[in-house]
Amino acid sequence: MKKDLPTVLVTGGAGFIGSAVCRHLVSTGAYRVVNLDKLTYAGNLSSLRDLDGHPNYAFYKADICDTDKVSEILAAEKVGRIMHLAAESHVDRSIDGPMAFVTTNVVGTASLLSAALAHWRSLGFAEQESFRFHHVSTDEVFGDLPFDSGVFTEESPYKPSSPYSASKAASDHFVRAWHETYGMPVVLSNCSNNYGPYHFPEKLIPLVIANALDERQLPVYGKGANVRDWLFVEDHARALEAVMTRGQVGESYNIGGRAERTNLEVVETICALLDARRPRSNGKSHLDLIAYVTDRPGHDRRYAIDPTKSERELGWRPQETFETGLGRTVDWYLENGWWWRPIREQRFDGTRQGLVGAR
Ligand code: NAD
Ligand code: TYD
């Protein structure tokens, strides 16, 4: 690994967004990237095979709750910035088993903050000035919007609904507390739903693509009327670099693609893309596989991000529309069964999603 570039520690870099961030940061040639990941069920080093052996990339298998190990890595790698993505991230799993979310997202974030603070204090003046702790969070902390009005701004009150979003809200508060109390230079970002390559096939978009290709039912919760605001993962990775490098210390930035869709619209669009690219052998549309299933408890109706601040202050804009990004995503799943088929072949672990997805 080259020693003359600023070193960014990415936590959760073997996950969906984290792996896109690692690939993006290394591709710029402007950073050394150190990926720290526990490799839970959601972590997958095959998402990073493009970076194998790259001189500006290193991987450590570690738990963010293990403060001693994290402290060692921060010192040994002379980390100059932290981008914190490690988390339990699936709402349905949080409903079945909330404590893992408290442990990783709340206790883990506070443990990481403690190690980061000691490291930051050990740095020289110039390094302290350039250091950032960038916490990667979600729009779900703002809770439920009505179908017909409202958007989330950086000033929206926190009103989380699920154990997942409550744990992310708590972690956001801890990050702000480390800034207000100890002066550590933090930035936060709250992003809408991501989609794209290397997305674990328990989340809506990859689940529907994989189920459709396997001639399984496409489970739509309730009537499919819930609205999410979608962003292509590589656009999020570029936004995160902008927040880390150009964001004001102590500030948060909402990131989103201005692409609200009902879940049913999302599923129908995937079906249309697959009908065109991989027609079924029985000549019917993939739409026939749609199955309306029992709704998620506490299911937020709508999320919608106002990204004006990020656009204005960071000069960031998404490069993909929902249609172009979804087309690229479907193509990726068609071409990369080597990545997602082995995940599907492992048995689901009895979570609500697992039961629905396995049908
Ligand atoms: P993911 O579940 O795909 O990946 C999470 C990664 O964190 C995995 O590689 C996992 O092994 C690792 N991890 C989990 N617990 C750990 C621990 N204790 N120590 C070290 N590593 C651990 O998640 P994702 O979808 O890539 O989301 C990444 C971050 O972005 C999360 O913080 C999430 O809240 C946030 N976010 C996600 C979305 C989205 O749509 N997916 C949207 C906005 C924000
Ligand atoms: P998901 O991908 O789990 O993301 P999040 O809950 O963080 O928004 O779900 C996206 C939307 O799709 C959400 O409204 C729940 C819905 N959904 C289904 O209708 N069927 C499914 O099988 C899944 C996993 C989600």
pLDDT for 359 beyond 50? no
What tokens does 185 get?
Answer: 């230079």
Cβ–ligand 2 contact at 41 (below 6 Å): no
For ligand 2, say whether the CB of 226 is within 6 Å of any of its atoms.
Answer: yes
Q: Which residues of 317-349 are buried (b: 16+ CB within 10 A; e: fewer)?
A: ebebebeebbbebbebbeeeeebbeebbeeeee
Q: What is the mean pLDDT of the chain?
A: 95
Domain ranges of the chain: 7-195+231-255, 204-228+260-302+320-355
For ligand 1, atom 30, name the residue with the nearest CA.
85
User: Residue whose CA is closest, atom 32 of ligand 1?
Assistant: 85
Residue 144 has pLDDT above 50, yes or no: yes
Read off the pLDDT of each residue in 246-255 and give the average, rounded to a whole number. Answer: 98
Say which of 31, 57, 60, 164 is annotated catalytic. 164
Alpha carbon of residue 150 to chain centroid: 23
Q: Residue 355: pLDDT band by 50, 70, 90 thresholds?
A: very low
| pLDDT greater than 80 at residue 357 | no
334 Cβ closer than 6 Å to some ligand 1 atom: no
195 CA → ligand 1 middle, Å: 13
Q: Is the pTM of this model over 0.85?
A: yes
Rounded to whole angstroms, how far apart are CA atoms 295 and 48?
Answer: 35
* 199: its two tokens: 């997305």
Reported as a single tens digit per residue, the pLDDT across 185-210 is 999 999 999 999 999 999 999 999 99
Residue 211 main-chain phi, psi, to 5 deg: -60, -40
What pLDDT, in 10s, does the model give residues 46-59?
Answer: 999 999 999 999 99
Query: Residue 4: what pLDDT?
Result: 83
Spatial contact of 28 and 241, defined as CB atoms under 8 Å apart: yes
C-alpha distances (whole Å) from 31 to each of 8, 155, 316 are 7, 32, 19
72 is catalytic: no
* Model pLDDT, residue 3: 57
Report CA(84)–ligand 1 centroid distance (Å). 9
Q: Which atom of ligand 1 is nearest to 200's Cα?
A: 3
Dist. CA 110–CA 204, nearest whole Å: 30
Q: Binning pLDDT at 50, 70 and 90, where does residue 358 land? A: very low
Q: With a 6 A CB cut-off, is 38 part of the ligand 1 pocket?
A: yes
Ligand number, closest to the Cα atom of 104:
1
Rounded CA Rg of the chain: 20
Rounded to whole angstroms, the Cα distance separating 27 from 19 reads 12
* Active-site annotation holds for 144: no
Sign for the CA dihedral angle at 38, 43, 49, 55 comes to negative
Q: How far apart are CA 201 and CA 342, in angstroms?
A: 11
- Which amino acid type is present at position 275? D
Residues 85-136: tens digit of each pLDDT: 999 999 999 999 999 999 999 999 999 999 999 999 999 999 999 999 999 9
What the block records as the tokens of 229 is: 């605001």
pLDDT for the residue numbered 1? 55
Atom number of ligand 2 nearest to Cα 356: 22
CATH topology of domain 7-195+231-255: Rossmann fold (3.40.50)
Contact criterion met (CB below 8 Å) for 186 and 135: yes
The answer, yes or no, to whether any atom of ligand 1 lies below 6 A from the CB of 194, is: yes
Q: Is 139 a catalytic residue?
A: yes
**Range in 127-141, 161-175, 336-350 with the lowest mean pLDDT:** 336-350
Provide the pLDDT for residue 172.
Answer: 99
On whether the 204-228+260-302+320-355 domain is CATH 3.90.25.10, my answer is yes
Examine the pLDDT at 308 and tell me if it is beyond 60: yes
23 has pLDDT over 90? yes
3-state secondary structure the chain: CCCCCCEEEEECCCCHHHHHHHHHHHHHCCCEEEEEECCCCCCCHHHHHHHCCCCCEEEEECCCCCHHHHHHHHHHCCCCEEEECCCCCCHHHHHHCHHHHHHHHHHHHHHHHHHHHHHHHHCCHHHHHHCEEEEEEEHHHHCCECCCCCCECCCCCCCCCCHHHHHHHHHHHHHHHHHHHHCCCEEEEEECEEECCCCCCCCHHHHHHHHHHCCCCEEEECCCCCEEEEEEHHHHHHHHHHHHHHCCCCCEEEECCCCEEEHHHHHHHHHHHHHHHCCCCCCCCHHHHEEEECCCCCCCCECCECCHHHHHHHCCCCCCCHHHHHHHHHHHHHHCHHHHHHHHHCCCCCCHHHHHHCC
pLDDT interval class at 356 (50, 70, 90): very low
